Structure formats: C-alpha cells, structure tokens
Structure 1
Amino acid sequence: MNGIHDMGGLHGFGAVTVDPDEPVFTSRWGSRIFCMTQVIDTLGVWNLDEHRHEIELMATEAYLSDTYYGRWMFAMERILERRNILSREEVDHRVQEIASDKRQFTPVQSAGRNWPLAEGDKVPWGAWRKEKTVQPEFSEGQWVRVRNIHPPGHTRVTNYTRGKAGEVFRVNAQAWVFPDTRAHYRGENLQAVYTVRFDAQTLWGEEYAEPNSYVYIDLSENHLESIQED
C-alpha cells in the first residue's frame, strides 16, 4: 500500500545525524516494548508481515510524530484487540492506574477473552526463508523491471523502484516467503528473491544522484517482470 511509512528515497527530511555513542534504547519503555513484542512473536498471535502491515495503517501525523517503538506498540495493541485478547478499555484502565501511582493493580479479566490461544488458533510467526529451493524465472545479468503495482494491502516493494529497470546481480534460489500475501493469510507463495542492481540516476534522476553510483535491492520474483527486447 502507499503511505508515509514508505519513506525510502524521499527528500526533505534533512541530513541523517549519526551518534557513535547512541544507546541501544533511548528510553526504558522502548526496551520493554521490544521485549514484549519478542515474547508475543513466539505465542502464535500474529505473523511477521501482519505486524508490519499493522504499522502501515497508522495515520500520517501519528507515524511521523511517534517513535520507532511507539509504532510497535500501536501494532501490538491493535492486533491484540482484534484477536480479542486485550481490549482498549483494559489498556486505558491500566494506564490510569499507573498515572495515579497505584500500587495494587486490578487484575485483567480474561473471561470472554480469546486467551490462552487454542492450538488451532495460533499462527506461525514465520521465517523469511525455507529449507528448500525453487526454480527461478530470472537469471544473473538479466534486465528486469519492477512491476508498477499499488496494492491496497501490504507490499515489500518500495515506491521509488516501481517501473524502474535494473540488472539481476544475484539470484537467491532458496524458497522465500512472499510477504505481500502472508501478511493477509493468503498463503506463503514461496519464490526466489533477486538482488537487483539499479543505477542511482535511474531511480532519482541525474539532478539528484551522482553518476556511477548503484543501489542494490532485494526483490521478490512476483515484484519483477522481464524486459522485452525490441
């Protein structure tokens, strides 16, 4: 889907300042959200791509003003509520208890909640790659074009590459999950992934990119099409 989350290649955000002493976590709550998410990843509540897509559903102003782990918390709360595991009211109530410095928290009522999950309700978080190979459609050195698609759901192809031509630099012929369909539980659609080399000026134009500069991007097979010779 198109949205502010697809920030790759966008202009106007200023220089990237690198702090060599930047801590792993800039806040205590951020480290807790990280840990909570890692635990939930193992419980069968969501899959990796569903979680990513949920972040993409944030409103533009919220996405830009929130922090990295604030976006994770947004996705966590939304999916837990949708799965009938934790309600918005329960979260707000606990926030009020913490804000009032209450020492004895009211236990969360699990009656009527879908928790713990039955084995049949659990979903695999899922790895990107499977221990099998597939027959790739494209080969190294072949020129391909990124399909100019604008799906309403999740996609891992970034906007600035759509419709652009590049050369297949490497073929990753192991079976890779197709995130665009797994995010919506429409199957894993195992396929090859290709490292495609793009001339930077092809992506951003001669005015904004240096000559003889290249960008290497991994793209799923379903995101590419062959370039027909005249």
Structure 2
Amino acid sequence: MNGVHDLGGQHGHGPVVVEPDEPVFHQRWEGRVYALISLARRRGLFNLDEMRRTIETMPPSEYLAAGYYQRWLDALERLLQEKGVVDGPPPVAAPSVEAPRVAPRFKAGDLVRTRQFNPRHHTRLPRYARGRAGVVELVHGPYPVPDRRAHGDGSQWQPVYTVRFGARELWGEDGHALDSVAIDLWEEYLE
C-alpha cells in the first residue's frame, strides 16, 4: 500500500526531531494503550500485521495529525470493533501454530532484486526499496506472510531474508557511498 505512513526516503517533511532523554511514554494514557495492545495480541485477538494494516488505512489527515500512541489507540478501537470483541462474546485465543518447514530459495551472499509493485494492501516492502538490488546477509524463518496475515490469513509461511542495500542503490547520488540499509524481507518480495 502506498500510503501516507510510508515516508521512508521522501523529502519535504522537515528534520526528524530527536528529544534528548525522551521518555518511553509522554503521558500516562500512552502506557495504558501499550499495555492494552500487548494484552490483546497475547490473547490472540489480532496480530501485529493486522494492527499495522489498520494504522496504514487511517485517513491521511488523521494519520498525520495523530501522535504515535494515538495511532495505536485508533487501531485498537477499530480492531476490537472489526473482530466483534467490543459488543460480541468473550474472545477466544487463537490456537498456537508450529512453523512449517520451508526450504529457502536464496542463501547468504546471493544478489537479489526486490519486486516492483504498487500494492493496494498492507506490505512490509517499503516503497523506497522496491525494484532495488541488494545482497542477502542472513536467512531467517519461516514466518507468516504479513501481507496476508494483516487480513487474518496466517496460513502462508515463507523464509525471511535480511537484505543489505547500498544507500546509492536506494537514493542515487544523494546516498553516501559507504552507507547501507538492512531490511528484513519475505521471499515473495525478492527475485
């Protein structure tokens, strides 16, 4: 999904303000939202990818006006309604699932290229890294594919690869020749 949430590498948003000695929570309610989300996820009410999808589909003006934990709170409210928890029967935890054995297509040291696509749904492949070449550093997994898990389908598992991209590959001459970015990517994102 090419939404307002995917700002990586974009210009015009001003500098990132770093607050020295920034507290984890600026207000007490933020810690409570964190605790509620953690509890809901542990109870199996929703998963991390469903939460990300819900945040990513916020109206752009609301997304930009909301702070970090306000987005979490909005997602929590929407997910509890979507799942029928707020007015429905008591929640039932999702059954635990053992990871299937899946042979990876790539190995450390392989040169790979990310797919170039414009999804209409949640994805963990950032826009700035689409259609770019990188080198596999590590092979992990398998893990559920977040693009489908965000919509409640956790049945498809794939290896995940840490892929390192040179800054110039991602941002052209604006990238420093010695800088790089490592991104964890599911196999279906790679060619």
Q: TM-score under structure 2 normalisation? A: 0.90
Q: Is the 8 A contact 1:47 1:123 kept in 2?
A: no
Secondary structure at 2:9 match in 1: coil
Within a 5 Å distance, the mapping from 1:105-184 to structure 2 comes to 113-117=87-91, 119=92, 122-123=93-94, 133-172=101-140, 174-184=141-151
Q: Deviations over 1:85-144 (max 9, x none)?
A: 33xxxxxxxxxxxxxxxxxxxxxxxxxx31313x4xx436x89xx666531101222211
Provide runs of 4+ in structure 1 moved above 3 Å: 130-133
In structure 2, distance between residues paired with 1:61 and 1:193: 33
Measured after TM superposition, the shift of residue 66 of structure 1 is 0.4
Measured after TM superposition, the shift of residue 68 of structure 1 is 0.6
In structure 1, distance between residues paired with 2:130 and 2:23: 35
Query: Is 1:223 the counterpart of 2:189 in the alignment?
Result: yes
Measured after TM superposition, the shift of residue 31 of structure 1 is 1.3
Q: Number of matched residues?
A: 191
Query: Match of 1:39?
Result: 39
In structure 1, distance between residues paired with 2:70 and 2:3: 18
In structure 2, distance between residues paired with 1:123 and 1:43: 7
> Aligned letter for 2:162?
T
> Aligned letter for 1:150?
N
Query: Match of 1:83?
Result: 83
Query: Match of 1:109?
Result: none
Secondary structure at 1:187 match in 2: coil
Q: TM-score under structure 1 normalisation? A: 0.76
Equivalent residue in structure 2 for 1:191, among 158, 170, 173 = 158
In structure 1, distance between residues paired with 2:167 and 2:15: 18
Secondary structure at 1:32 match in 2: helix
Q: Deviations over 1:27-80 (max 9, x none)?
A: 111111111111222233212211110011111111111011100111111112
Secondary structure at 1:45 match in 2: coil
Q: Deviations over 1:130-179 (max 9, x none)?
A: 6665311012222111011222221110000001111112222x322211
Q: Is the 8 A contact 1:169 1:195 kept in 2?
A: yes
In structure 2, distance between residues paired with 1:135 and 1:83: 34
Pairwise CA RMSD = 2.0
Measured after TM superposition, the shift of residue 14 of structure 1 is 2.4
Q: Is the 8 A contact 1:140 1:168 kept in 2?
A: yes
Report % sequence identity: 45
Equivalent residue in structure 2 for 1:214, among 180, 188, 191 = 180
